[in-house]
Structure 1
Amino acid sequence: MVKRPYPLSKVYGLLEPGPVLLLSTAHKGRVNAMALSWHTMMEFEPPLVGCVVSDRDFSFTALKATRECVLNIPTVDLAQKVVDCGNHSGRSVDKFAAFGLTPQPASLVGAPLIAECHASLECKVVDTRFVNRYSFFVLEVLKAWADPARQEPRTLHHRGWGAFMVAGETIRLPSRMK
């Protein structure tokens, strides 16, 4: 196999860390949902998630002010709604109304769960040391919700420029992880 140079602007499509999420916030009476693909697990217990929310995004202000959000995990059947949330700003569009998303009250944070998503993680911001420099928030998952009817959900994975990969077959291999 011969490798050739690869454009640096496309590297994130090779390293994409996980499923595209819908990050929901609530601030000053407005709820919002943004598509988020730049996130990573940082710790198991308590679960810590690091994510980049650009200071140009409407959700940045809400997340910074309230220090809480919900990470909602959509499945492939919501692909168009996820793309629509990513292509529109919450500054000018009520994404829940415009794209047919159903807000549900969370139990520990003010941001809503999204009913159509197969799982939702209520989070609080626990570390902001990298926000000013990298727009990187560290979130602690306070409560997790999942639809037990969806045993192996097919999630979306952003590859860049409108391309997505869909999670497929699950394989099981021996693991020492408990």
Structure 2
Amino acid sequence: MKETNECVIAIPGADLAEKVVDIGNCSGEDTDKFGKFRLTAKEARHVKAPLIGQCIANIECKVVDSRMVSQYNLFILGAVKAWSNSDRKEQRTMHHHGDGTFKIDGRTIDLRERMVKWRELVD
């Protein structure tokens, strides 16, 4: 992100939990993560970073503020496009507690008709 000022936030399904942990425990500097973990790179519309085909959703982002990077390693991102993969059988998301445990979600409520301000992000 420091070089390109853009990234993709990929949201994996609960079925990918073990793979997510394994991916997070190796470095992209010496590992081709797409190859090693058999991930499918898909072309994004607004950024150069690839989408991950196996994920439930991908969010293309651009850095809008980097003033806190040196002190907190914090980038402020703006979403420019969101993608969802409704073809995936597993649609539950997971949330990391920060200690190696995860919470799995299940129930979905549909409020798309209320998303008038952000419609351009989700088509």
TM-score (norm 1): 0.58
Distance 2:34 2:15 in 1: 16
**Structure 1 147/110 Cα, relative in aligned 2: closer, same or farther at 3 Å?**
same
1:104 aligns with 2:69: no
Measure how far apart 1:90 and its partner are: 0.8
Q: How many residues align?
A: 113
Q: Which residue of 1 aligns with 2:93?
A: 155
Quickly say closer, same or farther: Cα 1:134–1:93, change in 2 above 3 A: same
- Aligned partner of 1:119 in structure 2 is 57
The runs of 5 or more residues in structure 2 that have no matched partner are 117-123
* Larger relative strand fraction: 1
Bigger-Rg structure (1/2):
1
Unaligned runs of 5+ in 1: 1-62
Tell me the equivalent position of 1:13: none
Change (3 A) 1:95 1:152: closer
Which residues in structure 2 correspond to 1:11-50 (within 5 Å)? none
Q: Does 1:72 align with 2:18?
A: no
CA apart distance, 1:92? 1.3
Which whole-Å CA distance do the structure 1 matches of 2:16 and 2:50 have between them? 17
Q: Compute the TM-score of the two structures, normalised by the length of structure 2.
A: 0.81
In 2: Cα distance, 1:131 partner to 1:139 partner: 12
Identity %: 53
